Structures are given as C-alpha cells and as structure tokens.
Chains A and B, each alone.
Chain A
Amino acid sequence: MAAKVLIVEDNSSILIPLTFLLEQNGFEVQTAVDGEEGLAAVARFAPDLVLLDIMLPGLDGYAVCQAIRENPECGEIKIVLLSAKAGEMDVAKGMALGADAFISKPFANAQITATVRRLLAGPP
C-alpha cells in the first residue's frame, strides 16, 4: 500500500509540481493551503509524512508542527519543513519543535523525493 503524504503549502506554484512529483513517485498525496486545513487533513487523512511550509496564512508551519507533535495519536508522522526562511535560527527552531527535516526553497525535486523516501524507510 502506497505511503500517504500531505502537502501543506499556500503557494500553488509549488504545490502543483510537488503533488505531481510525489504522485509520480508512487505516493498517495493530499494537499492543504493553510494551517487549519492542514491540521484537519492530518486528522482525516492520517498521513505518514507531512511536507509543511512555514509561512502559511493564519496558523503558521511552526504552530502546525507543534500541534501535530503534541497530539499523541500523530506520534509516528514524519514532518518535513519547507521554507524560504533559511537562517540557522529558523532551522534550529523547526528542529526543536520536532520536525524531522528542513528543506529551504528553492529546492531540487530530487532532494524532496530523497528526503521523503529516507524518512519513510527509516525506523518508526
């Protein structure tokens, strides 16, 4: 059964190619365009991994990441943060909130697929 990936990203120019890319790689993909919708999708879709943009309208990526980590039912979900903010502080904050990886924009598609594969293949 295909692994499930949720992409939470408000910029459709990134959301569309990413969705295509992950689907082509055999993942089951769902999308959300803001933080609240993202959290609802997590509950509904129960993804194995979330690709999460940080600068989202309303609830930002850090808050969504924290909410997922604080929910015991979501313990095994992998989280990859995507951000145009790429300072050391941003990375450190994301990792401290429980993200598994941090990818800064602009990224290579190969970097996304490699990271997703690595995280989903690793021990839970």
Chain B
Amino acid sequence: MRTRNRFWWFVMVGVLTVFLIIGVLVGFFWIQLAPAERALLLDVLNRSFIYVFTVAVMLLAGLGFAVDGVFHVYILPLSKLVEEVTLINTVNPSHRIAMQGSSDVDRLVTAINENADRVEALQGRVEERIRLAKAEAETEKNILAAFMADLPEGVLICNTDGRILFFNNRAREYLSHNRLSASSTASGLDPFMGLGRSVFTVIDKNLIVHALDEIAEKLNTGEASAAAHFVAVGEGDRLLQVETVPVLNNRRDFNGFILICNDITVQLEIDSRVNALFKSLVQEVRGSLGGIRSAIEAMLAYPQMAAAQSERFKAIIHEEALQIGELLADSEKAYSRQVLTRWPLAHMAACDLVEAIARKAEAKLGLKLAIYGCEDDIWVRVDSYSIVLAVLFLLERLKTHLGVRDFNCCLERRGRFVCLDLRWIGKPVKIETLRQWESEELSVAGEAIPLTLRDVVGHHDAEIWSHSSRRLQNTAYLRLFLPSCQSDTACNIRSITILPESRPEFYDFDLFNQPGQSPDLDDRLLTELTYTVFDTETTGLNPRGGDRVISIGAVRIVNLRLRQEDFFDQLVDPQRPLPPESVKIHGIQPEMLKSQPPITTVLPLFQRYTEETILVAHNAAFDMLMLQLAEAETGIRFINPVLDTLLLSSVVHPSQGRHDMESISGRLGVSVVGRHTALGDAIATAEIFLKLIPLLAKQGIYTLRDARAASQKSYYARIRY
C-alpha cells in the first residue's frame, strides 16, 4: 500500500475511534440524567445548535488541516527520505537529496547530504586504490586479449556447454554469417555470434561433438596430442580447417575447448591446381619416356637393324627428349603462376616504393631518377620486391633500347588508380615492343624471378601503357597504373596491437562457471540470466490504429555485463507512409526506409537474436504489443519472459512520481546518448536495468519469478494500450 493511502487509513481509523469513545461517554451521561434535565439540555442544544455545530465542524476542519500538515511536512518527506538514502547507498553515491519539509526534515536532509559527501569522497579514495591494484593485473590480461584479438587465425574459446567465452576479430570475420543473406537462412546457422551465445549456432554441432568425442578418446588413452580436426563451412562458403583443443583444469577435468580456424579455401584451390599440374606432368613424361625407352631398347637388342629403321628410332629419341624438356619448362612456369603469384600484397606508401626504385636504379643500372609528385597520403598494395624488379626491368630495357640514362619518375593519383610515370626525352616505346617486353621473364642485373613482366603486373591488377606527352614536346613516358589503396582495404593489413583502455569486449572468461540456460528460468537469479534489452521506433503511438515498427535496436547483457559489441540495429520498411510528426521524434526520414527489409524479414532474424534470453524494455507493454501485432503477418511469436524497467523502477521507488526514462536515468546516474534511436534507447535501458538489479535485491527480489510477481503488483501494470 502506498504511504499516502496508509496514512489516511490510519487517520480515519483514529478519528472514528475518537467519535466512538465520545458517543459512548455521551450515552452514559444521557442515561444518568433526570427527564427534566434531559428536556433542559435538549432545549439549550436546540436554541444554540448553530453555534455547537459550527464549533464542531471548525474543530474537525482544524484537526484535518493539522494532520495534513503533519503528513506533508514530516511523514511524506521521511518516507521519500528512505528511498533517497537507499539510492545514495546503493547505485548512485553522487545523488543528493533536494526536498522541502519542516525545518527538522531540512536539517536531517542537510546532515544526510554532508554525510553522503564524506562517504563518496572516502569511497573515491578506496576505489582509486583498488583501481591501481587491479590495473597491473588487468594490463597483463589486456596484452593477452589484444594479442589474441589480432591473431591471423580465428580463435573461439567455449565452456563445456558450448557457450562462447572468447572470440577474436578473425573468428568473427570467418563465422558471422551475413544477416540478411539467403545462404545464412538456408544453412540454418545463426547470423549472430556473441559472448554467451552457443557456438553450435555458428558451427554445425555434429562436427564439434564428433571432435570432442575424439578428444575424449585421446585423453583416455593418454595420447600426447589431444587435438582433433575437422573442416567447416564459414561465411561466404569459405572452407575452414578447425583444430579443436581441450581446456583442462588442474585436476585434468574437461573444462571447455578452444577452436582454432584457418581459412584453407585458397590453399585448397592452389593445392588442387598444383596436384592436377603434377599429375599431368607425370603422365606426359611417362608417355615420352615410354617412346625413348622402347626405341633405345630395340636399337640395343637389334644392332643389325636397317639404317633407315635406326635413323627413325634416333629421331624418336631426339623428339621425345625435346618434348620432355618443353614439358618441364612449361610446368615450371605454370607452377610459378599458381604458387608465386599468391604472394601477399602489402600496404605501402607510393613514395617509399618510388624511392626504393630510384635507389636500386642508381645502384644496379647507374640510372638517375628524379622524383616528382610525392605525397604522403598516396598508398598502394604491392609485393614490393617483384614490383620494384618489374620497374627496374623496364628501365633497363629503356636504357638498352633507346639509350636513355635520365628519367623523371612522377606519381599522380587519378581516381582509384595511382599513376607511376617513367618520363624521358626522346621517342616513345612502340606498343608491340612493350608487349614483347611483357612476355619476357624478369631478370635485371643478376636478380631474377621466374615470372614474366605480365605476370607481375597482372598480379597487382595493374596496367602498363606507352605514351608521348601532349604538353611537353619530345617527352615520352611509360605509365604504370596501380590500384590505389582505399581506406576500407586497409583491414586486410595486420594492424599494430594497441592496448585498449578497458578490457576488450570479446571475452568473458567468467562464463566458464556459468550454468547452461535451462527451461526453469523462473527460479534462476536475476544476476545470472542473459538478457536482450531492446527498443522499437514506430510510425506512431497507436499500435492498434495501424502504427508499425520502423526500427528495432537491441543489446545483450551477459553475466551482468553490457555487451555493446553484440548489438542488433535494423531499420524496417513499414510499407505505409511515415507521419511527419513522428519524424520529428525519431529523425528517421521516409527515404531511409525505402531500401530496408520489411518486418517479415526482420522479425525472424530478431527472434533468433533473442533466443534463450529474457526480453527487457522500457514500457515493455508497448513494444511487446508492436511485436505481437506483427505476429499474424510474420508467424513469429516471442515466448521469452519479459521484464519492464518502468515497472521495476516503480517497484524499487514507489514514492517517486515519475518513471519515464529521463527521470530514471537522472536518479540512477545513467547518461543517455542517442536518445530516440532504437539502439540508443536500448543501451540506456540496459544500463538502467543493470542499476535496478541490486536495488531489487535490497527488496528481496532475487529471481526472475520475484521480479515478475513484483512487476505485476506494481501500480503501473494497470496501464493498457
């Protein structure tokens, strides 16, 4: 019962009791009077009734005002004071009480605020010391985590239930299936990968179970290597070779497993081509050798054979020997193309490349290169050794062919290409000459690679053209077009490991001790459940009147930590006009929604995102109704348990009048960024929810069942949309 109601019940019962006592006393008094005295008394009362009645009413009114004053000045502030003090002591030590009451209450408030200042300062000092003590240990953990995050292999660490405790960037790249692609839906694999989620949603469970059985067998027989291997299909149909390694605790009990994934698609492709090349080479050499051997054996066995026959056999031997030589040369070239052109390309400043060319040209060819147009921000992706050799090869050919010794080397960015020009005074190179050079193997001043100029240029997706300058007379040049390196391609380059300020949000080893999700969620502690905190933006506030969802944003809470990296943020085409007044609130323009998927595509995806979690929303009744109204269209039904931060806030702070997001955020010390975007509101709601959990515990609300029961009782539960 609310404080106000309880107080007035108390007052009414008090007043009734007083009236009852007065009535009984009057009754006794009346019985003892003689009839004449009763008549006299009635007569007096009759005559002065108006005065007596007025005095009685005024007394009652005075009493009422006094009681109301006491209620507002003492009782109500004291009741609020309890909530405010709890707030300071639990979630928001920076909160200070600002309320009006009697001077006594004001003094109490001042004293409490001063005390809170002292406690906060003290707490700050203690926390600082704890922080410093933790920092060292945390740095070591971060080095490990940052190192793991940038490994070239995809690494996933899972507990015994297959829940993901750690994954690195590469694992996410290999295994996060494209959310809206048909292949991810068809494969039955989940597009979401996140901490606390099951690994079986991204890799076929049967493969992992088989590997774990193999490991168990190896552990039983005491084999030195307990790893098991399998091949799985990752994002974009890439083939992943997965090594499974067990994690044992100090008693050698199975405690989890590590999956190390390597992309073997390209390697397999090269292997199969090289294999085919090898087979074909062997077969052809066997055939030729067959002829040689047969002919020479016949000549040895029949030395007296006719001269014409003997000459024929010699010709066969000669022909086949030449044939074998050609075969070997062709195969070597083909092998070089298959294997050597797989050299990785690296990010390089074009200036550094040109300077390297100039240095080598002077040292090896005695040529002088003047460099022009060097800008710091021109980048190319090259295998520097082969491309430098290719340009040196060209310079050497120009020197011998045209007798040129002085060159200008100019760099220029043109659209998505970087032009590297070699300019000289004289005639241009004829196209047919250039094509001839392109077909020659690269060999310059004692350095050579078994690839032609065309191979190297092709490997870089580059082109070479011969020009004569229109502006500068008598100036010719060779232009090498290299694709410029866009910023988005830089992700293929191994990044420098930078230690993050806080622990990277890719791992949570505390999950090693987390029990698996089970159907009896109701009796589980709020602190150990996994939550999807979500918010929707809509075309309006009237779901039953046809308003539709236009955006869904969600984040997850695992192990009491907000997992911002594992988010869901999707715009939805409502397939109906967007009222201008709603645009003012959420800022989503109608044209932003045109190319977005409809609710029938988004909701199945969102359901998979929320699987095995508790749904949390602010004013969840509204958002759930939005999802329920889409049920008929999508066939998707959300059966997850639901918690509402609005109701939970009214449970922990029944005396506070306002439970909108801004008020709660202010009370609990949560800063809201990106208000009125679905994802921004979902993150704020999640932070509020995390602060509410300890406050609920103070009221004896520990389990999901407790939280749901308390919510239902709450005053706001009566609101209906």
- The CB with the most chain B CB atoms within 10 A, among A55, A82, A109, A112, is that of A109
- Contact: B290 with A107, CB < 8 Å? yes
> In whole Å, how far is A59's beta carbon from the nearest beta carbon of chain B?
18
> In whole Å, how far is B261's beta carbon from the nearest beta carbon of chain A?
33
> Considering only CB atoms, which chain A residue lies closest to B323 in the complex?
A13
Cα(A108)–Cα(B295), bound, Å: 10
Cα(A101)–Cα(B27), bound, Å: 135
- Contact: A13 with B286, CB < 8 Å? no
- For chain A residues 84-113, which have a beta carbon within 8 Å of chain B? 84-86, 104-110, 112
From A17-25, A34-42, A62-70, the one touching the partner chain is A17-25
Cα(A84)–Cα(B323), bound, Å: 15
- Contact: B293 with A107, CB < 8 Å? yes
Instruction: Assess whether B709 is interfacial by the CB under 8 Å rule.
Output: no
| A105 and B290 in contact, given A13-B316, A13-B319, A20-B309 (Cβ under 8 angstroms) | yes
- For chain B residues 308-364, which have a beta carbon within 8 Å of chain A? 309, 312-313, 316, 319-320
Give the residue of A14, A17, A20, A84 whose beta carbon is less than 8 angstroms from that of B282. A84
Cα(A110)–Cα(B293), bound, Å: 11
- Contact: B283 with A55, CB < 8 Å? yes
Report the count of interface residues on A (CB-CB < 8 A): 23
| A11 and B298 in contact, given A107-B293, A108-B293 (Cβ under 8 angstroms) | no
Instruction: Assess whether A43 is interfacial by the CB under 8 Å rule.
Output: no
Cα(A84)–Cα(B283), bound, Å: 5
Instruction: Assess whether B287 is interfacial by the CB under 8 Å rule.
Output: yes
Instruction: Assess whether A3 is interfacial by the CB under 8 Å rule.
Output: no
Cα(A22)–Cα(B153), bound, Å: 62
Complex interface bits, B291-308 against A, C-beta within 8 A gives 1, otherwise 0: 111110110011001000
| A14 and B287 in contact, given A24-B302, A106-B293, A109-B298 (Cβ under 8 angstroms) | yes
> In whole Å, how far is B321's beta carbon from the nearest beta carbon of chain A?
10
Neighbouring B residues of A85 by C-beta, 8 Å? 283
Cα(A108)–Cα(B297), bound, Å: 7
Cα(A112)–Cα(B510), bound, Å: 74
Cα(A24)–Cα(B302), bound, Å: 9
- Contact: A17 with B313, CB < 8 Å? yes
Neighbouring B residues of A24 by C-beta, 8 Å? 298, 301-302
> Considering only CB atoms, which chain A residue lies closest to B285 in the complex?
A84
Cα(A18)–Cα(B295), bound, Å: 8
Instruction: Assess whether B284 is interfacial by the CB under 8 Å rule.
Output: yes
Provide 26 A-B residue pairs closer than 8 Å at the C-beta atoms, listed in order of the A residue: A11-B287, A11-B291, A13-B291, A13-B319, A13-B320, A14-B287, A14-B290, A14-B291, A16-B316, A17-B313, A18-B294, A20-B305, A21-B301, A24-B298, A84-B282, A84-B283, A84-B287, A105-B289, A105-B290, A106-B286, A106-B290, A107-B293, A107-B294, A108-B293, A109-B293, A110-B297
4 further interface pairs, Cβ-Cβ under 8 Å (given A20-B309, A109-B297): A14-B291, A16-B313, A17-B316, A107-B290
Residue ranges of B at the interface with A (Cβ–Cβ < 8 Å): 282-284, 286-295, 297-298, 301-302, 305, 309, 312-313, 316, 319-320
